[in-house]
Amino acid sequence: AGLGGIGLDTSREIVKSGPKNLVILDRIENPTAIAELKAINPKVTVTFYPYDVTVSVAETTKLLKTIFASLKTIDLLINGAGILDDYQIERTIAVNFTGTVNTTTAIMEFWAKRKGGPGGVIANICSVTGFNSIYQVPVYSASKAAALSFTNSLARLAPITGVTAYSINPGITRTPLVHKFNSWLDVEPRVAELLLEHPTQTTLECAQNFVKAIEANKNGAIWKLDLGRLDAIEWTK
């Protein structure tokens, strides 16, 4: 989701850093945001395709075929779709976890070195809740832990696939996501309010550190982006 809270600020920072192309896949079209991104750096070609991460691997592969046909090479895939609403159990798992797995699986068709592909890099947006759950939203926290575990495995499979991976784990960031959301079984009606009593960071701080992590390009890194800092976390074996 390149046009959401952290996503849009990250897209802005990526465009400033000057790649040749930025392709944004999102469920909701936002022509104003796309126009703004194009204006930041006219040297970067920004394109948009409507995409819902909950579609099948086959459906995703079809869209990727179109994108690869027009671009020839893609170096980096960012899986960034996420929802925070523990009333919606199936959708939380579908968007936060299954979507990441399916999109990754689909791109392997084009990237995996066993298929003669060039390899590539995957950055998965997980969350600090992946290693320290917000227990009032156990479904959300578990979906992020699953995405984190999946990413750690991808990194270790790099010698076979040629595809490297790392996770981006933001702390509490002031986005529309955290202002109002539902806890599981209503165990805590004030969960959003309580969360925002903690120190937070802005989406801009988070985005700037995200771009630093992209530039570091470290396979297997578990990046923690919290309180305006970027730190590599050591996974306890």
Residue 96 near residue 51 (C-beta atoms within 8 A): no
- Out of 49, 87, 135, 140, which one is annotated catalytic? 140
CA distances, 68 to each of 43, 58, 72, 160 (Å): 20, 15, 5, 22
DSSP string, 95-117: IIIIHHHHHHHHHHHHH-GGGT-
Is 140 among the catalytic positions? Answer: yes
Put residue 186 in one of left, alpha, beta given phi > 0 → left and psi -120 to 50 → alpha.
Answer: left
42-49 CB contacts, 8 Å cutoff, 24+ apart: 43/18, 44/15, 44/18, 44/19, 44/20, 45/20, 45/21, 46/15, 46/21, 46/22, 47/21, 47/22, 47/23, 48/23, 48/24, 49/23, 49/24, 49/25
Catalytically annotated residues: 140
